[in-house]
A and B are shown apart, each in its own frame.
Chain A
Amino acid sequence: MGAGVLIASQLNSWRVNFDLPWLTFGRLRPLHTNAAIFAFVGNMMFAGIYYSTQRLCRCRLASPLLTKIHFFGWQFIIVCAAITLPLGYSRGKEYAELIWPINILVAVIWLVFAANFFWTLAKRNEKSLYVALWFYIATIVTVTMLYVVNHLSLPTSLTHSYPIFGGVQDALVQWWYGHNAVAFFLTTPILGIMYYFVPKAANRPVYSYRLSVIHFWSLVFIYIWAGPHHLLNTALPGWLQTLGMLFSLMLWAPSWGGMLNGLLTLRGAWDKLRTDPVIKFFAAGVTFYGMATFEGPLMSIKSVNALSHYSDWTIGHVHGGTLGWNGFMAAGMFYWLTPRLWNTKLYSQSMANMHFWLGMVGILLYVAAMWVSGITQGLMLNATAEQGTILAYPNFLDTLQAIRPMMWCRVVGGTFYLIGFIMMAFNLWKTARSGSPVNGSIEVESAMEEMVGDTNRFRSYANAPVVYCFLIIASATLMIFGHGASFLAGVFLTATFTIAAFAHFEMSGAKWGQWYDELLKHGLTFTVLTIIAAAIGGAVQIIPTVTMQRADNIEGRLQIPYTPLELTGRDIYVSEGCYNCHSQMIRTMTPDILRYGDYSRLGESIYDHPFQWGSKRTGPDLAREGGKRSDEWHFYHLLNPRDISPGSNMPNYTWLFTKDAKTGTLESKINAMRMLGVPYDIGLSEEEIMAEYNSQAAEIVQRLAEKGAYTEPQKQIVAVIAYLQKLGAFEDKDAPNENTTPLPFEPVTSTQP
């Protein structure tokens, strides 16, 4: 939160980075997002899961050793992130910036957590799995799947790697992961915590257990499909955009079902709202869950997204969820938990109440300011004049100046919220000091004996409903993808199996329900089915996109690979986190085309590992920056952006002028790119690579010197200028004569698939 307040201040006053490389917005924003997700919510989630799982399973955690490894390992990862991200070690993918050795450590520690959790489930003394445990299972298996796929990389050194996916494939995988980091790291575990701790705090059972069952399965099934809503109006194929939008809209139903279930659990306990800070935090937290899950689908409507995307509206939306839902649920849980863990009473109720109101005012200030800011800037950027033929605000900086007051409100709101949490830390620390840790054990009655002979793991899979579902899905797949005879066979088999299933149901009566009930007694079976439910969406979207031949899917334009110097510049661009403020994707919208040029095609970024389409435009889009401005313009702009663009809030990048670019691993980087399918000349030796590097660098230095801008070929600034001047270069595959330079704006002559 501290990093968040700092970088929010930097948006208003660039001087707050003190001209230090490791304090710039581009480097600290990844630290802020990673810390909020993995450190703040992660640690809160682990505490809640460990506490409630033991009680819902009526047994101790399986292994105290694994718990310790998990705790210290996770904190070590957080320390590693806090060191490497400000130093500029980044993979360049949002919420997945950590470098590959830390990725491996995260995976190992996560598996330690998973092993401990499932081992505890295996030795439980309560045969049925309460719904909170379902949400924990979904979290563990889905985060494992998402994290592994999105972090597949080819290392080029100990601190650097390239993602194995590139361009549109990387964009799709990234937002499949990014969206579901929200779903399965920030939502499902907290829902599990809600289903356990809200009934405890209200001292009454969940409003509707039936609704919680519907909530779980529909949420887990739908959430995974919604990732493409982060890529609306981009070069992503239209069918994927449609899928993302529709599933996001359908998410309204399960999300609000869960929200209402949580709120209605407080029925009859509303009087406690006046006095009990725990209930206050839970009631507000669940309400913010409802608000965020209303706003998310709204913003996923393609036309609304045309306004909201790349603007502060998105920032307001995610903070409503993180501060309101995650933060307040964390506060409620800790205020409930700490006195019980130390067998004492809360040190100060009034301080907790003050925390609540500071946090509430802080969130509202923050979120409202971001809504106003996002809508204002979005409207200004999209506004046209003269019957839509020219932009009403052609200068991007005019739109930035218009939202400055809102950006100050955001700093004030964030500071309020941060102060509230500092008060909570003090309050909990004093609470713990006033008591002594509870360390006891109680006798529980084991209900597991009843299960012996009662259920059969094999029957959980091999029974009529599962077999029919499998057959119907298989034959429907044949029908959808098949041609001629296989299509007809698919139609016939789908109809046959569907009719047979109904006939079987009529004959077997109510027995079918037993299958579902058995699931609740088999942790493993339940887990396998959860994986299937969560994996279907990702598989349907990602497999066709990844397996298609890249050369067949370029929309007539093929990116020209980067030279060694340009690739070095790109790595610096990624390392500095420029993608946090600059997109590289001109959307299929008139205002974007008027402002930045012809809309981006799939093929234009096909060799980008990682893709750099971005998610926010604090500065303008750079997809066609190459050739637009002179080398010396970039030289002086990066030295002090305000000399060129008065009013800019971009940091000075003075160290690019003093530091040498790293070329020691260039050969390994080019080899990695080649292995990933980028068509570099085979057999390019280190000498050849460096000769090409030096030759291009010397040309740029010469051009700069002619304009009175002096630097040396080995400096980082030369590589960055080379990269910026390459942006938007593609080969026009449809043109009669090959064109190797970026095309100027041209009328749209074809439609995008």
Chain B
Amino acid sequence: MFKRIIYDHWTHIVPILSFWLTFGVFLAITVRALFFKKDFVQRMGNLPLEDDANDAQPKA
């Protein structure tokens, strides 16, 4: 089953498959990220800054 892809056609298949596979993943996740709601993005981005008080600044 694997012989054909490994020995015969790899030069044609591998580069194209690699590109489209990666492009597909990039595209899907980029589209999803662009459609995030603004308030959701802001809330998530600020999560590390909402820690407890002793994190804010050490005493001088």
**Interface, chain A (partner B; CB < 8 A):** 52, 55-56, 126, 128, 130-132, 195-197, 199-200, 203-206, 209-211, 213-214, 217-218, 221-222, 225, 237-239, 242-243, 246-247, 250, 253, 339-340, 343-346, 438, 440, 442, 480-481, 510, 513, 516-517, 544, 547-548, 753
Cα–Cα, bound, A346→B52 (Å)? 20
Q: What B residues does A753 contact at CB under 8 A?
A: 6-7
The answer to whether A218 touches B26 (Cβ under 8 A) is yes
Provide a sorted-by-A list of 10 A–B residue pairs whose CB atoms are within 8 angstroms.
A130-B44, A199-B49, A203-B49, A205-B45, A242-B11, A250-B18, A442-B53, A481-B2, A481-B4, A510-B35
- Contact among B26, B43, B54 for A253, CB-based, below 8 A: B26
Cα–Cα, bound, A200→B56 (Å)? 8
Q: What B residues does A246 contact at CB under 8 A?
A: 14-15, 18-19
Q: What A residues does B52 contact at CB under 8 A?
A: 55, 442
Query: Distance (Å) between the CB of B60 and the closest chain A CB?
Result: 6
The answer to whether A218 touches B29 (Cβ under 8 A) is yes
Cα–Cα, bound, A203→B48 (Å)? 9
Cα–Cα, bound, A460→B14 (Å)? 32
Cα–Cα, bound, A745→B32 (Å)? 57
Query: Distance (Å) between the CB of A318 and the closest chain B CB?
Result: 25
Known A-B contacts A128-B44, A481-B2, A548-B2; A213 and B59 likewise in contact (beta carbons under 8 Å):
no
Of all chain A residues, which has the CB nearest B26? A218
The answer to whether B44 touches A250 (Cβ under 8 A) is no
Known A-B contacts A246-B15, A246-B18, A544-B2; A217 and B25 likewise in contact (beta carbons under 8 Å):
yes
Interface residues on B, range: 35 or more
Known A-B contacts A52-B48, A213-B29; A344 and B58 likewise in contact (beta carbons under 8 Å):
yes
Cα–Cα, bound, A221→B11 (Å)? 22
Cα–Cα, bound, A481→B17 (Å)? 13
The answer to whether A209 touches B44 (Cβ under 8 A) is yes
Query: Distance (Å) between the CB of B10 and the closest chain A CB?
Result: 3
The answer to whether B36 touches A210 (Cβ under 8 A) is yes
- Contact among B1, B10, B47, B55 for A238, CB-based, below 8 A: B10
- Contact among B1, B25, B33 for A213, CB-based, below 8 A: B33
Q: What B residues does A211 contact at CB under 8 A?
A: 33
The answer to whether A200 touches B22 (Cβ under 8 A) is no
Q: What A residues does B60 contact at CB under 8 A?
A: 345
Q: What A residues does B59 contact at CB under 8 A?
A: 343-345
Cα–Cα, bound, A242→B12 (Å)? 11
Q: What A residues does B5 contact at CB under 8 A?
A: 239, 480-481, 544
The answer to whether B34 touches A210 (Cβ under 8 A) is yes
Cα–Cα, bound, A237→B9 (Å)? 13
Q: What A residues does B42 contact at CB under 8 A?
A: 205, 209
Cα–Cα, bound, A242→B19 (Å)? 12
Cα–Cα, bound, A344→B33 (Å)? 40
Cα–Cα, bound, A343→B57 (Å)? 9
Contacts A209-B44, A345-B59, A516-B32 aside, 17 further interface pairs with beta carbons under 8 A come to A55-B52, A199-B45, A200-B48, A200-B49, A200-B51, A205-B49, A206-B45, A209-B42, A214-B29, A221-B22, A238-B10, A239-B11, A242-B11, A242-B18, A250-B18, A442-B52, A480-B5
- Contact among B33, B36, B48, B53 for A130, CB-based, below 8 A: B48
- Contact among A56, A214, A481 for B1, CB-based, below 8 A: A481
Cα–Cα, bound, A442→B13 (Å)? 57
Q: What A residues does B10 contact at CB under 8 A?
A: 237-239, 242
Q: What B residues does A547 contact at CB under 8 A?
A: 2
Q: What B residues does A516 contact at CB under 8 A?
A: 32
Q: What A residues does B19 contact at CB under 8 A?
A: 246, 250
The answer to whether A214 touches B22 (Cβ under 8 A) is no
- Contact among A56, A132, A221 for B25, CB-based, below 8 A: A221
Q: What A residues does B30 contact at CB under 8 A?
A: 214
The answer to whether B48 touches A55 (Cβ under 8 A) is yes
Among A206, A210, A343, residue most surrounded by chain B Cβ atoms (within 10 Å): A210
Q: What A residues does B6 contact at CB under 8 A?
A: 237, 239, 544, 548, 753
Cα–Cα, bound, A142→B44 (Å)? 25
Query: Distance (Å) between the CB of B52 and the closest chain A CB?
Result: 5
